[in-house]
Amino acid sequence: MNRILLASMLVLCTSAVSAQPQESRRSGTANPRDNVAVAAVASARSISFSGITWSVKSSAGELWGPGPNNFSDDPGNVWVDAQGRLHLKITYENGVWKCAEVIAQTSLGYGTYRFTIDSEVANLDPNVVLGLFTWNDDPAFNHREIDIEFSRWGNADDPTNVQYTVQPYTASANLQRWTQNAGYQQTTHSFRWTKNSIGFESQSAGNTLKNWTYTRRTGIPRPGGENPRINLWLFRGAAPQNGLPVEVIVSKFEHLR
């Protein structure tokens, strides 16, 4: 999670054929043995977004997962605008690419996790990953990780650009990749987590773009200390292929019982 794994690309057959990286860990705090990094987590700033307090991840200049990358709590990387929308931005400063992640300071358990995106995310740079997910540092139930991710995982020729995942992603039945077409300036992405299923759905203007239901009972995590998280990062820590900063706006997060 906080180390680089050298892995080949795993070819998965879903609704479209696509390459999925063997290493795509989403989050994680510092290694508990790294006192400097742990102190950075404790001192990170917080923001209020959609009625929830979120911690802003800071790696204090170190490289942390996912990626690994340098995660910054600078207001130039994470901020909430006058409309209450969350901005995450990958920036380049003094020779360093800086990424962004926010972590809700509450655990919500079963229910619907809904994220509204006010940015065009179909054509993100191939090395950029936008993650909407749950995570617990406790490894039980594969960190209770449920993901909606936008990325081509470094492959500019990959026709797919979104995936739904119930960890572990290495089980082909746990991952569904698909293509979100360009042109949508606002989209809503959600998963409904129950003890019997996890139902994913993406919409725009009330129209369903994609849905998928995961029903493998033994693979569905049980709630316990996980947090909603949102991150914007660079796959394997590689710079954007176009060399440009990247910004994504999340206008709303909702949790519905």
Which residues, in sequence order, are CB contacts of 32 under 8 Å at separation 6+?
38
Identify the H or E element spanning 190: strand 187-193
Q: Which pair of structure tokens corresponds to residue 142?
A: 């594969």
> What was the pLDDT predicted at 111?
98
CATH code for position 179: 2.60.120.200
Whether 177 maps to a domain, the answer reads yes
> What was the pLDDT predicted at 127?
98
Whether 2 maps to a domain, the answer reads no
Whether 114 maps to a domain, the answer reads yes
Residue 174 half-sphere exposure toward CB, CA atoms < 13 A = 17
Whether 143 maps to a domain, the answer reads yes
For the chain, the domain total comes to 1
Whether 211 maps to a domain, the answer reads yes
Q: How far is CA 124 from CA 45, 121, 241, in A?
A: 27, 5, 10
Cα(116)–Cα(178) distance, integer angstroms: 18
> What was the pLDDT predicted at 65?
96
Whether 3 maps to a domain, the answer reads no
Per DSSP, the chain holds a count of helices (H) and strands (E) of 2, 18
Per residue of the chain (257 residues), what is the pLDDT tens digit? Answer: 433 333 333 333 333 333 344 343 444 443 333 334 444 454 469 999 999 999 999 999 999 999 999 999 999 999 999 999 999 999 999 999 999 999 999 999 999 999 999 999 999 999 999 999 999 999 999 999 999 999 999 999 999 999 999 999 999 999 999 999 999 999 999 999 999 999 999 999 999 999 999 999 999 999 999 999 999 999 999 999 999 999 999 999 999 99
> What was the pLDDT predicted at 177?
98
- Cα torsion angle, 50, 97, 18, 12, sign: negative
Burial class, 35, CB count within 10 angstroms (exposed 0-12 / middle 13-18 / buried 19+): exposed
Whether 4 maps to a domain, the answer reads no
The domain of 235 spans 9-256
> What was the pLDDT predicted at 41?
55
- pTM across the whole model: 0.87
